[in-house]
Structure 1
Amino acid sequence: MGEEVKVDKWGYEVNTSSDACISAINAYYHQLLIYGRERSVILEAPLRDQHCVLANILAAHFLCSADPSRAPLHIQAAKSRLQQASAYEKAVFDAVSCLISQDRDDDLALELHSKLLKDFPRDLVSLKRAQVFCFYMGRPDLSFNLVQQVLHENQNENYIYGMLAFSLLECGQMVDAEKAAKRGFEINKQDCWSQHALCHVLQYECRFKEAVEFMEECSSSWSLCSSFMLTHNWWHVSLCYLEGHSSIRKVLEVYDNYIWKELERPDAASAEVYLNALGLLLRVYVRGHAVVFEDRLKTLVSRLTDQSTWYIEWHLDLLTIWALASTGELVKTEALLQGLKSRLSRMSKKKQQTMQRGILLAEALYEYGRGNHIRALELLGPDFNANHCKMIGASDEQLDVFNELWYSMLLSTGQATKAIEVIEKQVKNREGVPFLWRLLERGYSMTGKQEARVAGEKAMALETSYFK
């Protein structure tokens, strides 16, 4: 490679003679790690050096979601120059090309990323890419293993501890997750992923006021974040207000001013905003605040019917099914549901088995949305646990609404004994959530148990303890 060898941000060799190409690649790394809005900067790299393998394969990966029709050109450009590529570039090419292939082998894609990180452990963007992949596989344990694999080589590096913290909290290790998130925040106060991970922990532990104060203090650093990260962090804030029994008007204010308002920005990614908007709307509906948000839901549904944001993410599709069904758009709902089933039928047998829970949840949300709670419960089954549905691409916190929905339907269909059994288990994990105690109070009352009064008193005490 001679004079054409340069090094990227990680210190790994890249076969290019263009400083501008390397600069664009490094800028792309930065954008990915900060969840920035300028990830398209990677398209500048192959313009500066059309033969650079790394530039082309990273551009192809970006285009697979941004503009899929343009990706094959860059894949072919990278493939045609592989013989001239560095060992690092070849490893990235192998891992990414497997990841974005039409008939992807998930196990092989993970294996190739693991090998890449073993040989080139300072590449935090490949770690991030692999962790995102694990997230959509519903395997936080594998995500944790990957970050552990490279942690020694990145002890004091920016962004590594946010990645560690999120994998830890998704594995239920909240104490260690909090330590990792705080370490990441110490290294870089602007690291939105460390901020986000710490909020997850505070929220799970019912430290709602502390979470809100922390996140609102950090919010000035989110203006350059992607539509997803910006609205997702505000989704967490609104959820803390909701779970901590703040005024519903406060939740409405966050929705209007910080989530929905993102759509006014010319570079907003609408699907990313809709995901967080729908996630919040379903929460408030389950908790009995439908009237307050009814007009907002109708406005959102009017944008979902054109199908432009269908089939981007399973999680978004499932929330869309609920929204469409609950507003009477049954023909559209059935079309989306059938489309998901069609996509499932084209998957490998192994993938079909994994995603079957996602389809059942989609069908249940359709029935729930149109008011058929008995059928929805039949679909979910007697041992439903939303945490077993991670493969739709959702965190435990995002999935928790489906558990709340299940509890509420059990009560609304008269299955109070079963509801009490499962809610009591959840209360042991999150004793500080007023809504859970209200559900228990309702269940105890339905079965004539004296514990109803105690549960009601507990709920009332909690409702006034966080936001006075």
Structure 2
Amino acid sequence: MQNRDLSGSVLSGASAAATENYIAAVEAYHCFAGDAGGLIEAAIADSPAFTMAHVLKAYLHLVGSNAAAVQVGVEAAATALSLPANDREQGHLAGLQKMLSGEYRAAGRIFEDLTIAHPKDALGLQAGQLMDFLTGDSRMLRDRIGRAAPYWDPGRPDYHAVLGMLAFGLEETGLYDRAEAAGRQAIDLQPRNGWAQHAVAHVLEMQDRRADGIIWMRADIDAWTRESFFAVHNWWHLALFHLGLGEVDEVLKLYDGPIWGAKSDMAFDLVDASALLWRLWVRGVDLGNRWNELADVYQARADTLGAYAFDDTHAMLSFVGAGRMDAIQALLETQQAALKGPGDNASFTGEVGLPVMEGLVAFGAGNYGLAVERLRTVRNRSARFGGSHAQRDLIDLTLIEAATRNKDHDLRRALIAERAVALPSGETASVLGRAA
């Protein structure tokens, strides 16, 4: 008897018991909550030749983690690639190989073809959307899910996962009303879906609905924090809502508590911590020793830098904030080497990462004219090194502050005017009031 996942696809090398654990692990991965790692280890212990169990283990560890976790992912991928696989599983393995070599665009295309052929493969959709996020491909964040949508209906147990992914893709392409509706429907179906929770938070951020955002995030904190490996990012969204309302004490409380209290060295958690501190710092908030504590962690994992420019840019935030000139210089040299490196990161670095970092370094040195020049040059193409609109907004916020400090009143006025069109209150009003 062949065992199958929720899409009806055959799972090579899986027993009935291992299949049950695998399905539960995939559900946890969809939600970014639960014991996905423990469940997949149980599946592998039962069925060591279970190909997709090793694939999922690789997906869980390869992106956004620390060096030790990445190595686990590399080993899981190697095992998966050594095992028998059917046609659908071969698609996952081919995409995984491209991920290992840092060819995220190519991986995204492979996952695209995989889910065109198998539109009910929710894991394939999720792996593909992760590649779209890493490459900043807003349209594919939406369209790869949209292509599969006709094959899904509310009667499927994992329908919430596709709704959550669709919500994020709709939000990143500016279809805010539809994004919010899809995200809220996903949460109604599965309150623990941290990705859907975050998709609605993105809508509220982009619409400048700060008070609504606080209500949304605080309505059921337990649902999106319990056993969640995505909680830090959602806490970050809550902090942004408070920051937009000028509630700096609440932001610092969140930073010192759930955002940075555990001092995680996971890449995605570090990104959130550094991005939040930077937003506070450019406003003139006294951060005490916080920059140094964060920079210590980044310097301890310096051997991981140079692989993904988006993450490296956030390391640079911490080094500039802490005034660590040696670390700044070393990271700039790492970026120069990355320009000749393998995979997509060479273009991420050259087109966006390096000029942004040079702008940040200039800002920290008080050379606001150079900061303006570097950031103006790159901001309209900044999506090319990944992340979301909300994350990349840090570039615009820094540019506004650099223009203000450089006494470039005409440019500052123009930047504030354009921002007021997109964000008619909240953070824009705060910037206007502080720097007028």
Q: Same fold (TM over 0.5)?
A: yes
Q: Which has the higher contact order (CA 8 A, sep 6+)?
A: 2
Alpha-carbon distance in 1 for matches of 2:254, 2:22: 35
Deviation of residue 340 (structure 1)? 2.3
Distance 1:294 1:409, change over 3 A: same
Kindly indicate whether residue 115 of structure 2 is the aligned counterpart of residue 123 of structure 1. Answer: no
Map of 2:13 onto structure 1: 16
1:393 to 371, 386, 390: 386
C-alpha spacing 1:166/1:75, structure 2 compared with 1 (3 Å):
closer
Q: What's the counterpart of residue 326 of structure 1?
A: 321
Which residues of structure 2 form unaligned runs of 5+?
none
Is the CA contact 1:54–1:89 (under 8 Å) kept in the aligned structure 2?
yes
Pairing 1:33-432 to 2, within 5 Å after superposition: 33-36=30-33, 38-41=35-38, 42-65=40-63, 67-69=69-71, 74-82=76-84, 85-100=85-100, 102=101, 104=103, 106-156=104-154, 157-227=159-229, 229-246=230-247, 248-263=248-263, 269-289=265-285, 291=286, 293-307=287-301, 310-311=305-306, 313-347=308-342, 352=347, 355-381=350-376, 384-385=378-379, 388-432=381-425
For 1:157-204, what per-residue CA distance to the aligned partner results, in whole angstroms no more than 9, with x for missing partners?
A: 122111111111111221221121122122223322222111222222
How many residue pairs match? The answer is 426
> Alpha-carbon deviations, 1:380-427, whole Å to 9, x = none?
24x553x53123332111111220110111121121111111220110
Deviations 1:215-262 (A, max 9, x none): 0122111333444x211111111111111123x212121222221223
Deviations 1:17-44 (A, max 9, x none): 5223323322321221111263423344
Q: 2:233 is matched by which residue type in structure 1?
A: H
Query: Following TM superposition, by how much is the alpha carbon of 1:134 offset from its aligned partner in structure 2, in angstroms?
Result: 0.6
Q: Which runs of 5+ in 1 are unaligned?
A: 446-468
- Are residues 43 and 342 of structure 1, via their aligned partners in 2, closer, same or farther at CA, if it must alter by over 3 Å? farther
- Give the Å deviation of 1:335: 0.7
* RMSD, aligned α-carbons: 2.6
Moved more, 126-135 or 11-20: 11-20
Q: Is the contact made by 1:136 and 1:390 (CA closer than 8 Å) also made in structure 2?
A: no
Question: Contact between 1:283 and 1:401, CA under 8 Å: does it hold in 2?
Answer: yes
User: Do the aligned residues in 2 keep the contact of 1:34 with 1:225 (CA within 8 Å)?
Assistant: no
| Counterpart contact for 2:3–2:10, Cα < 8 Å | yes
**Which of 24, 28, 50 is the matching residue for 1:31?**
28
Classify 1:286/1:91 alpha carbon distance in 2 versus 1 (closer, same or farther; 3 Å). Answer: same
Contact 1:182 1:198 (8 Å CA) reproduced: yes
Determine which structure has more spread, i.e. the larger CA radius of gyration: 1
Distance 1:142 1:21, change over 3 A: same
Cα distance between partner residues in 1 of 2:34 and 2:191: 19
Q: 1:300 to 1:98 in 2, by over 3 A?
A: closer
Which one-letter code corresponds to 1:300 in the other structure? L
Q: Partners of 2:348 and 2:58 in 1: how far apart?
A: 29
* Aligned-pair CA distance for 1:311: 4.4
1:138-157 deviations in Å (ceiling 9; x for gaps): 10101211000111112311
Q: In structure 2, what residue type is equivalent to 1:301?
A: A
Q: Distance in 2 between matches of 1:271 and 1:117?
A: 28
CA distance in 1, matches of 2:305, 2:102: 21
Does the C-alpha gap of structure 1 residues 438 and 103 become closer, same or farther in structure 2, counting only changes over 3 Å? closer
Q: Secondary structure at the match of 1:8?
A: coil
